[in-house]
Amino acid sequence: MPSHDVMPNMDLYQPVQVEDALALADRLADRGWLVGGGQDTYGWLKDRAKSVEAMIDLSGIESLRGIRETADGLEIGALTTLTEVANSPVIQSSYSVLSSAAGKVASPQIRNIGTLGGNVSQDVRCWYYRRGLDCYRAGGNLCYADTPEGMNREHSLFNVSRCVAANPSDTAPALVALDATMVIQSVGGERTVAAEDFFVGPANDIQNTTTIRPGEILTSVRIPSTWANATFYFEKVADRNVWDFPLVNVAAAFKMSGDSIEDSRIVCGAVECKPHRVTNVENAIRGQAKSASTADSVKELATEGARALAHNGYKIPLMQNLVKRAISG
């Protein structure tokens, strides 16, 4: 296969109003490519693993940037950089699971450019898929990773269906833990989707990782105050401590009633094609003390239903340990 690293020829649109961007997105549909920070754009296009006729550069639309306090929490523009999310005082004080997660993405340089919208919209990190092979996700009829000899150390444990790729986002589990709402606009208007429903697995849609469709733009993320100032936990385990995707991460929010867990949302990343909420664990710890013994007693529930591939079996104990730490930490 040819090795490229120069951008192919394509049209470039640089709207400064969201309405213009929506019109372009509507007109170009799947012939266009939305780019914000570009951290999951240029690799695809330079490698020729994906090709489009035009790029719609959203980075000039100021209205898509910034963190605003609302009557019911926060609204974060999709183009807000991960550094801004990580350093935001209001996020750090009331929704620290998100600032912690954003601060663990990739490297400082990438966080300075990469956006929250891009981080949750990024494609899966299956190396076969990203090499441009004709796998199921790319429209073919094979999965190269889900074989006895496939190199699938980073792939999914849960809910695989023809594709075993994992969602690599660090902020996505945090947004699901915060019960965030994704705001999606098109020329037809605005729709909102719960973060938990924003991400889709291969059984429902094997070619997309989110519910966004051609012509739509993720414009912001709303964080409700429901979980403000909860007890939070975020941890990411990656091979490297900088510039790496998670092997497994966990984002958790706990509402406490005295020493007891009144409610919780615990979400793991990099174990499924979408953030994986461990509702059985949440149910099991409701009313329990937030303690090491509680954590030990439920940690194995976290991986119920997990199916290890040839090389990712380590994710099962790792995920159990991270859920344990989230509860006991």
Partner 1 sequence: MTTHLGFDFTPPDVEGKVSGEIKYAEDYKRDGMVFARILTSPLPAGRVANIDASAALRMDGVVGVFTADDLPPSPPPGNPTLASEYVTYVGQPILVVAAVTEEIAESAIDNIRVDFERRDFVVDPMESLTPGGKNAYPEGNVLIRTREEGPGGTPIIGAEIRDIKWPQSAIDAMRNGRNPVDGEFTTEWAFGDIDAGFAESVAVIEEPFVTMGYPHHCLEARTSMAYWENGKCYFHGSSQSQSANNNGLARMMNIDPGDLVFINEATGGGFGSKIGPYPIMAVAGNFSRMLNRPVQLRITREQEFYIGSARSGMQGWIKIGVKEDGKVAAVDLVIVNDGGSTGGGSGNSSAGHVTITFQPENMRYRGISVYTNTTPRGAQRGPGENEMAAVLAPITDKAAAVVNMDRVRFRRANVIDSDGVRSQSQSGVTSAFVREALDQGMRLFNWNERINQPKRTGNGNKVRGRGVGIGYHGAGSRGYDGLVRIGTDGRLYIHSGVGNLGTYSYAGTCRAAAEVLQVPWDRCEILRGRTDNHLPHSSGQGGSNTMFTHTRTNWVAAEDAVNKLKEIAAADLGGSPNDYEIDGERVFSSSDSSQGLTYAQAAQRAIEMGGRYSGMEYPDDINPITQRAVQGIQGTGLIGVSKDNIPGQGQPPGNVVGFTEIELDLDTGKYEILDYAAVADCGTVIHPTNFMNSMRGGAVWGVGMANLERHVYDPQNGLPANTGLYQSKPPTYLDVPTSTRAAAVNIPDPQNPAGCRGIGEPTQGASVAAIASALSDALDGHLFNTAPTTTDMIVNHLAGNSYSTQSLKTNTF
Rule CB under 8 A: which residues touch partner 1?
1-9, 48, 107, 127-128, 131, 144, 147, 149-151, 153, 237, 239-244, 247, 310-314, 316-318, 321-322, 324-325
Q: 268 in helix, strand or coil?
A: strand
Amino acid found at 293? S
Shortest gap between Cβ of 16 and partner 1 (angstroms)?
A: 27
Q: How far apart are CA 119 and CA 116, in angstroms?
A: 5
Indicate the residue among 178 and 250 with the shorter CB distance to partner 1.
Answer: 250
CB 322 within 8 A of CB 250: yes
Distance from chain centroid for Cα 195:
9
Indicate the residue among 35 and 247 with the shorter CB distance to partner 1.
Answer: 247
Indicate the residue among 99 and 249 with the shorter CB distance to partner 1.
Answer: 249
Q: Tell me 300's DSSP state.
A: G
Indicate the residue among 2 and 139 with the shorter CB distance to partner 1.
Answer: 2
CB 72 within 8 A of CB 225: yes
Q: How many other β-carbons are positioned within 10 Å of the β-carbon of residue 70?
A: 11
Shortest gap between Cβ of 45 and partner 1 (angstroms)?
A: 12
Shortest gap between Cβ of 55 and partner 1 (angstroms)?
A: 15
Indicate the residue among 200 and 237 with the shorter CB distance to partner 1.
Answer: 237
Shortest gap between Cβ of 195 and partner 1 (angstroms)?
A: 26
Shortest gap between Cβ of 87 and partner 1 (angstroms)?
A: 18
Q: How many other β-carbons are positioned within 10 Å of the β-carbon of residue 5?
A: 8
Q: How far apart are CA 120 and CA 221, in angstroms?
A: 10
Residue keyed to tokens 């006729």: 53
